[in-house]
């Protein structure tokens, strides 16, 4: 996407990014901070979140916050507590980026184990549902709020051997559409981004033999993330955009 974001696009905005410690999520956090946002960094590996925190502080951007959370084990109570903490500390939330994701194990359909099914569906679908459910009241407190879900091309067209990951991304598209339809006409919007092939640890796991130098970097796909989070997309709701 060709989009040139003004430097102060996200000034005075508070935005939560999941999976903010590495890959695309780390780049989203840094990019939003560079455009003026206070970023809440959520992830399971505290050392990675702290490294991103330090990078943001070094930029002189608004002071970020860290929420350590393993989406695999989190219960509804954790999301409720988290929403109360955010409401108490910041009053409202302007943006939520569901970026964290689990690839699981790729392979034939008949080999998908129940445990792998549960793990990938928990991290990629149920956690997004519970987090959104409990953060909606805090998002509604903002003047305008944007929820971004992360899709994939295998979440729009099924592909052999992508099993539960692909199925979970179809569910993500469905969750976004259902929510967006309900939010239509309100000041909260929900959309999906399909990042497209991007050089990250997950991509290397899925395609170990490819030449990663030929791929887009997370920084290359940030215009779409900026567009959907900022005021230029206020009228966009229920869409699934390609970042490449």
Residues designated catalytic: 165
Taking the complex as a whole, the smallest distance from the CB of residue 228 to ligand NDP amounts, in Å, to: 14
| 168 is a site residue for ligand NDP (CB under 6 A) | no
Q: Is 14 near ligand NDP (CB under 6 A)?
A: no
Rounded-to-integer distance, Cα 143 and Cα 187, Å? 7
- 122 secondary structure, DSSP code: I
The reply on whether position 236 binds ligand NDP by CB under 6 A is no
The reply on whether position 67 binds ligand NDP by CB under 6 A is no
Q: Which of 41, 52, 56, 71 binds ligand NDP (CB under 6 A)?
A: 71
In this structure, are residues 68 and 44 in contact, taking their beta carbons and an 8 Å threshold?
Answer: yes
Regarding 104 and contact with ligand NDP (CB under 6 A), the answer is no
Does residue 188 bind ligand NDP (CB under 6 A)?
Answer: no
The enclosing H or E element of 105 equals none
Interface residue with ligand NDP among 146, 198, 224, 237 (CB under 6 A) is: 198
Q: What's the closest the beta carbon of residue 22 comes to ligand NDP, in angstroms?
A: 4
Classified as helix, coil or strand, 40 is strand
- Residues in Cβ contact with 47 at an 8 Å cutoff, skipping those fewer than 6 apart: none
Max alpha carbon distance in the chain (Å)?
51
Query: Which is nearer to ligand NDP, 93 or 121 (by Cβ)?
Result: 121
Taking the least distance from each CB to ligand NDP, the nearer of 186 and 244 is 244
The bridge status of strand 95-98 relative to strand 65-68 is unpaired
Q: Does 72 bind ligand NDP (CB under 6 A)?
A: yes
User: Measured in whole angstroms, how far is the alpha carbon of residue 118 from the centre of its chain?
Assistant: 20
H/E element holding 148? strand 145-150
Q: Using CB under 6 A, list all residues that contact ligand NDP.
A: 19, 21-25, 43-45, 48, 70-72, 99-102, 123, 150, 152, 195, 197-198, 200-203
């Amino acid at each position: 996407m060709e989009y040139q974001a003004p430097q102060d696009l996200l000034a005075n905005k508070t935005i939560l990014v999941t999976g903010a410690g590495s890959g695309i999520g780390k780049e989203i956090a840094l990019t939003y901070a560079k455009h003026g946002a206070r970023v809440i960094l959520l992830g399971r590996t505290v050392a990675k979140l702290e490294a991103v925190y330090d990078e943001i502080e070094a930029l002189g951007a608004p002071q970020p916050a860290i929420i350590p959370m393993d989406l695999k084990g989190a219960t509804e109570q954790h999301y409720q507590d988290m929403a109360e903490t955010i409401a108490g500390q910041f009053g409202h939330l302007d943006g939520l980026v569901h970026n964290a994701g689990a690839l699981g194990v790729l392979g034939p359909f008949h080999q998908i184990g129940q445990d792998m099914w549960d793990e990938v569906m928990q991290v990629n679908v149920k956690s997004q549902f519970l987090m959104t459910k409990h953060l909606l009241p805090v998002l509604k407190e903002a003047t305008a709020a944007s929820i971004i879900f992360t899709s994939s091309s295998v979440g729009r067209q099924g592909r052999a051997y992508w099993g539960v990951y692909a199925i979970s991304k179809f569910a993500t598209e469905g969750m976004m559409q259902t929510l967006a339809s309900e939010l239509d006409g309100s000041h909260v919007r929900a959309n999906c981004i399909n990042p497209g092939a991007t050089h990250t640890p997950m991509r290397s796991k899925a395609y170990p033999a490819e030449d990663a130098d030929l791929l887009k970097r997370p920084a290359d796909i940030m215009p779409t993330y900026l567009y959907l989070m900022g005021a230029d997309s206020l009228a966009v709701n229920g869409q699934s955009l390609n970042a490449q």
